[in-house]
Structure 1
């Protein structure tokens, strides 16, 4: 690891637990100094992950992430009736389509994260300068992502989207952009697998921000259950994507960054619901460094994270069966670019196959009831996630269900 990366990492660790220094952000003399000061307050653990990246990737990722936070400011801090237009105006300025900067949102902030967003919106000219300083390929890549994200934000402001649809279009698009940034050659994963990781990140954000109203729940306990149930389907696709990282990401720093993001995000889920995380806080950085050293060590890290994610689900849904560590996910996701449809449908069939074969003589034990519930949830989740829009799409999904049903009836484990 280079000296610059070590310095960025140490700076991030020191700043991570401190409240944001808004005065310093507003007084930063250059766009580059603003980026250095803002990355941790704006991204928290994701900013630590960014410190692992090589300098060229780190500069692009930082500029793109700060621009996303500017869009957040216009989405969240402008009156809803005007938020969509404000977001589209902001992205047009950030990507260079218009030359006049929009005024910052006239809002009173409620949280530290909103205060950081507002400070960045006030420095929108500097964020645009960071984007403009990127190489041409980086500018095009970041602009395409920001334009797509802004379109979903604007649509949601005008007509609220289902939470999963919103997460796929915003954080899912950001994750796909990160994959395009760090994965080289022909290994870039499908958009739908990247969207799975985006949904997991959005679920973590919603838990962190106590978004009771968005989930139509009355208290924190209900919110945690609602989030953990929604975690089932995207976890399958997300872990399938993560299995591809070692083979398709030649830069060790990029692998470290991805490992750190995975370890810290899943640790948040686990500790929130009272389940043990894969690694204690002091060991998360070393674990990310170690996981990036070889495919074997990456697999060990991913196995620990899988088991702890299952533990978090079990902590919320008492008696639940393992979803990730005790199914055939590893075999199914060994394909070069696994598709989400067979991952969801085959896992559903795997749960069904593990139900008792003999006629019922009484009530099923709770773990088997939960297994049946998971199978039902994944079956409906396949339709929700894949959203077949035409007869061909419906036929393809039906074929996956038929294949899984026939294999289950024969007793096969695919």
Structure 2
């Protein structure tokens, strides 16, 4: 990597766990200086991943990240009566659609937390963030402008009429993830599959944020343990999609720095989710592991296999603590490792169905003569959970999609029964 990239990465790692230096951010005299100082406080591990990128991608990704943080500020910190309009006004100003800045955020004596203080400061410096976007190439301005406009639209709709958590995640973080993947890799997947699988990654990222922020009210739960169960269970299907995406994205990304960025975010996000259920992280040295994974397809696949295995362990640790699932961690079947992600479909519903029946195939073929062991009961319950998840992915007003799902379930069941003695 070039020296500038190494310097950016070293600076980010040094400041990752520190409180943001708000005085230094306020004192920044140019948009470029503000961007360099704000990247880590605004993006945390995402900021580190941006630091892996080559310079031409790093500048654009930084502008996109900071612009989206400005939208977050106007979404969360504006007076509710004008919040949706403020978000849209901020987007129009950032993209150059208007020269009129959005209304200022209401003043507060002290920000509730560091991230809010950084968001407020970036909103106050929206003119500088707009300048970062304006100096990009024409293609870069177009890409970032489209992301900002799309994300602001979803935020505004959610303010006016709250969306489901999944729909919000897919519309906001999913759009950002789609932008990032399209920026670093071309023609890895069809557009429809790319949007669907990046939506899975977005749900995972949003779930991690919700766990970090203890979003009890959003999920209608009373305590941390209940929040963990609900959030971790809902991650089964998105995790399948996320690993299917990564299995193809790594080999399809020309830039080693971009591959390292993706590997780093994969490793750090999985480490956080594992920590929630007291499972060891896949790697202790995250940066080194990301760089190694980026060095070849062999090491990329090895990294994915290790993260999948750790994620499976986390799933079973979480289920051990759930009253709804049998105590079957000992000898339990792998869920995320039930098939080779490179050989499985990249459309989410077929992927879920195939994984469901891959789990079914691990069950004994002989006629049942007594009670199943706990591990096999758990496998059946997980398979049921995934099958219902596939049904939930299909909109009820799309009869053709429902018929396609029913046909795929039937064919998968027939294929499973012909491989052995299952009825």
What's the TM-score bracket when you normalise by the shorter of the two chains? over 0.9
Match of 2:343 among 293, 308, 332: 332
Map of 1:137 onto structure 2: 139
Helix, strand or coil at the partner of 1:244: helix
2:229–2:318 contact (8 Å) kept in structure 1: yes
Map of 1:210 onto structure 2: 214
Residues 100-109 or 402-411, more deviating: 100-109
Map of 2:404 onto structure 1: 396
**CA distance change for structure 1 residues 384 and 111 in 2, over 3 Å: closer, same or farther?**
farther
Aligned counterparts of 1:21 and 1:198: Cα–Cα separation in 2: 29
**CA distance change for structure 1 residues 360 and 322 in 2, over 3 Å: closer, same or farther?**
closer
So what's the TM-score if we normalise by structure 2?
A: 0.92
Match of 1:274 among 272, 278, 288: 278
Helix, strand or coil at the partner of 1:387: coil
Match of 1:245 among 223, 241, 249: 249
Unaligned runs of 5+ in 2: 321-327
Map of 2:156 onto structure 1: 154
Aligned Cα root-mean-square deviation (Å): 1.7
Match of 1:112 among 102, 111, 114: 114
Unaligned runs of 5+ in 1: none
**CA distance change for structure 1 residues 83 and 365 in 2, over 3 Å: closer, same or farther?**
farther
Report the Cα offset of residue 156 of structure 1.
Answer: 1.0
Map of 2:324 onto structure 1: none
Q: Output aligned runs, 1:68-217, within 5 Å.
A: 68-106=68-106, 108=108, 109-185=111-187, 187=189, 190-217=194-221
1:81–1:157 contact (8 Å) kept in structure 2: no
Helix, strand or coil at the partner of 1:190: helix
Aligned counterparts of 1:107 and 1:214: Cα–Cα separation in 2: 26
Map of 1:259 onto structure 2: 263
**CA distance change for structure 1 residues 129 and 227 in 2, over 3 Å: closer, same or farther?**
same
Aligned counterparts of 2:336 and 2:162: Cα–Cα separation in 1: 35
Aligned counterparts of 1:286 and 1:5: Cα–Cα separation in 2: 15
Map of 2:307 onto structure 1: 305
Helix, strand or coil at the partner of 2:250: helix
**CA distance change for structure 1 residues 272 and 360 in 2, over 3 Å: closer, same or farther?**
same
2:188–2:248 contact (8 Å) kept in structure 1: no
Aligned counterparts of 1:149 and 1:385: Cα–Cα separation in 2: 22
Aligned counterparts of 1:386 and 1:195: Cα–Cα separation in 2: 15
Q: Output aligned runs, 1:7-18, within 5 Å.
A: 7-18=7-18
- Spell out, residue by residue over 1:145-201, the C-alpha distance to the aligned partner (whole angstroms, 9 max, x if none): 111111111111111111111111111111100001111355576210111111111
1:409 maps onto 2:408 in alignment: no
1:75–1:84 contact (8 Å) kept in structure 2: yes
Map of 1:294 onto structure 2: 296
Q: Output aligned runs, 1:225-240, within 5 Å.
A: 225-240=229-244
So what's the TM-score if we normalise by structure 1?
A: 0.94
**CA distance change for structure 1 residues 339 and 32 in 2, over 3 Å: closer, same or farther?**
same
